[in-house]
Structure 1
């Protein structure tokens, strides 16, 4: 089996015995490009090849640059949340390994010692310990020595003053002259610019058990709810600089969500409590996301009536239980009376007219009710 391919150029007639060359498609406009596709085909007759649609790409007019691929809409950056500075996003800060600060501090201390020997103010014992020859007969440090002191001291202060220890689960938010300079999440010995302001933030998974908060059930009855919130700081920049107190903001969001989501009364089933938990988690997570907090769960762990309605709701519950008990007793008595009358008449033990039937039903009902009252439910 032999295959032939179409030529890639316009010029030149086709060779003898070869198929007519396909015309090469060209760019028709400056904004649309049709890319030719040449496929191998068989000599024998067969199904026609599938014609592919030309790919359309954009081209910047008048620049001659190659078209740039466009990112999908899902990969584009999302707009910032309302009320939050779009530039306030966590980014890593520039820090150095701790060995750099140690070396700078040691060099500063050595420079101060060398300057003291140069000025002749280094004690002989210290000079002998450092292996330096004794130097005396000087009038004290001059301008050159004071400048060397200043440089070596500044180097030592910057070296030792910038040493910091990074811990797992902790981060530093750095700021310089009121401007956010980055976040440090690294661990170990680090060197941070001593001029920046450091704010320590706990980024571990945390839980918070609230005090009793006001809530309401579907009927509008006031409740007291204790919730357990599982959360963590996701964006340290927004949590520290975007709000004054992110923990207080979280408490306010939980309290607002409890007033918006109706809870079930004490003693409700687990399914109702799970539905309320999911609704509370969604609301609190949506409210705290703009300030860099990530909420995993808001669980009501204790639900009780408010003190002002607890006594009334207790009496109401007792009355409801009593009503259900009376209804069950009455249903059982009526079933017993009906079964007794039906058996007596079906077996032919008695023949009753309407009046006698009513009297019998009345007597049996009184007797069964009296017996149920004595023996209990």
Structure 2
């Protein structure tokens, strides 16, 4: 269909414009490596391979030492075939060990993972690489971070982990150990920034609650490292220290806050004891005091009690 718009010369039809289509976003781009998962690799028991190699070697020797009369070409061809079988069988022998697996590739393509232990036979046409799957632990060096109050800290963590999916660990990331350490540093920076290291104003959630910090770090790294085929068991903070630039100042503030809490606790205990003493004397009728005398008695008892107990609390703090 053609449309001649108004004002256009006759005889010059203008093609009708197609209605505008709504722009629909396409599916998200997914890396082809995200679909790689571990699968069993092909292998044979090592005993069968050894028996095959011995049989081929014996056959080769029998052909070479056999009776004359057979065509040399036939003998040479048969001996060459048996020798090739012997070499192929011997080259494919491998040993599977607990805590490690064989990762198999061919021309860069993943061909499976062998988790069997003992003597095995794996095709020598495949490239074999050992991958450690045992339970491993890693103690980090001090990681620089900042708490919720902006105080610079140095945090040391202990991580327990292992490779769960060898295909993802080998192909989803370039180096799964370096990737793990980088994510640990990022997780520590994120979790530490949620709470203050110490709350000098009063009791409250702080980073000294290591159980809470351990749960947050472990939960975060379990999700972050799962696409790389790494299983995380625990991430525990070993040390949480102030950065050297502010360590001395904040330690003095921490000691001052502790001393203030001890003094407040001693004062509360003194007031409670004085109140109970005055109440007991009044209820038993031992004294008959007016307001002025009651205030004077309370003052004298408070001073006496604080003099006897506050210095002791200060000595314990020191």
Tell me, yes or no, whether TM beats 0.5: yes
Report matched runs for 1:121-160 at 5 Å: 143-160=73-90
Shift of 1:290: 0.5
Conserved 8 A contact 1:250-1:288:
yes
Of the three residues 252, 261, 280, the one matched with 2:217 is: 280
Partner of 2:243: 306
SS of 1:307's equivalent in the other structure is: coil
Conserved 8 A contact 1:107-1:155:
no
Give the number of aligned pairs.
275
Q: Judging changes above 3 Å, is the alpha-carbon distance between structure 1 residues 350 and 174 closer, same or farther for their aligned structure 2 residues?
A: closer
Of the three residues 265, 278, 282, the one matched with 2:197 is: 265
Partner of 1:97: 45
Q: Judging changes above 3 Å, is the alpha-carbon distance between structure 1 residues 231 and 340 closer, same or farther for their aligned structure 2 residues?
A: closer
Distance 1:370 1:89 in 2: 70
Of the three residues 316, 323, 326, the one matched with 2:260 is: 323
Distance 2:123 2:186 in 1: 41
Gaps of 5+ in 1: 1-79, 118-131
- 174-183 vs 265-274, which moves further: 265-274
Conserved 8 A contact 1:174-1:198:
yes
Shift of 1:308: 2.3
Q: Judging changes above 3 Å, is the alpha-carbon distance between structure 1 residues 114 and 373 closer, same or farther for their aligned structure 2 residues?
A: closer
Partner of 1:4: none
Conserved 8 A contact 1:266-1:305:
no
Shift of 1:106: 1.9
Distance 2:54 2:219 in 1: 54
Partner of 1:235: 165
1:189-209 alpha-carbon deviations (Å, 9 max, x no partner)? 221001211111122333323
Higher relative contact order (CA 8 A, sep 6+): 2
Conserved 8 A contact 1:266-1:303:
no
Conserved 8 A contact 2:105-2:112:
yes
Gaps of 5+ in 2: 1-27, 200-204, 314-318
Q: Which has the higher helix share?
A: 2
Distance 1:162 1:289 in 2: 33
SS of 1:173's equivalent in the other structure is: strand
Distance 2:291 2:94 in 1: 104
Partner of 1:113: 61
- 260-269 vs 164-173, which moves further: 260-269
- Compute the RMSD of aligned alpha carbons: 3.9
Question: 2:116 matched to 1:179?
Answer: no
Normalised by the length of structure 1, the TM-score is 0.61
